[in-house]
Amino acid sequence: MSVIEDLKKRSSNQCEFCASTENLSIYEVKPVSNGGVDGSVLACETCSHQIENPLETNENHWRCLNDSMWSEFSPVKVVAYRMLHRLKTAGWPKDLLDMLYLDDAELSFAQATGEHLEESEKIIHRDCNGVILEAGDTVVLIKDLKVKGSSMVAKQGTAVRKISLDHENAKYIEGKVNGTQIVIITEYVKKMSEKE
């Protein structure tokens, strides 16, 4: 079966958050590592849009997490954790967060985007133009970079897909170049837009 068929079967053909049956699609949970069923959810257009656009989050829509946070599937719980943290100033999400159980691997996955941190605690990664970088983004190298500890040179113009962020240092990201995982300094990359 394909990923979409597996997700439809797992979710009884409805959004795994709000139970809508309209405009369903695969939402890959960031940072996208393996995608597939273990890294994706079946979500409606409304949920997917609000997950991706924090400023357009409708608090009342996410009251559906009262039910969906109890899902047996890790990617659903991970997104529930992140959305409850995003909304916690509303009061009621704080109570749900206190009840939500994630094992160590799920908690690590849930916290990978830093959504759980207070604004003052967040480490913001920016490219050479000051554009905010997020886990899962694609960047392009703006100069040739010698890779420490090897004879490899990552060439200017190389696209690095599905980057991950260093959560302790805003200057560093990681990504694969020619199959090798390397650390890259953010001032030497430019974020690619989805249209590029």
Tell me, what's the pLDDT at 195?
A: 54
pTM across the whole model: 0.61
* Dihedral sign from CA coordinates of 46, 50, 52, 55: positive
Per residue in 125-153, pLDDT tens? Answer: 889 988 888 888 899 999 998 888 788 88
Tell me, what's the pLDDT at 165?
A: 83
Fold exhibited by the domain 123-191: SH3 type barrels. (2.30.30)
Tell me, what's the pLDDT at 50?
A: 92
pLDDT beneath 70, residues of the chain: 32-35, 114-122, 194-196
Pairing verdict, β 132-133 and 153-154: unpaired
- DSSP letter string, 155-170: PTT-EE-S-EE-TT-T
| Extents of the domains making up the chain | 3-113, 123-191
Nearest-angstrom CA–CA distance, 108 and 95? 21
Query: Tokens 């719980």 belong to which residue?
Result: 77
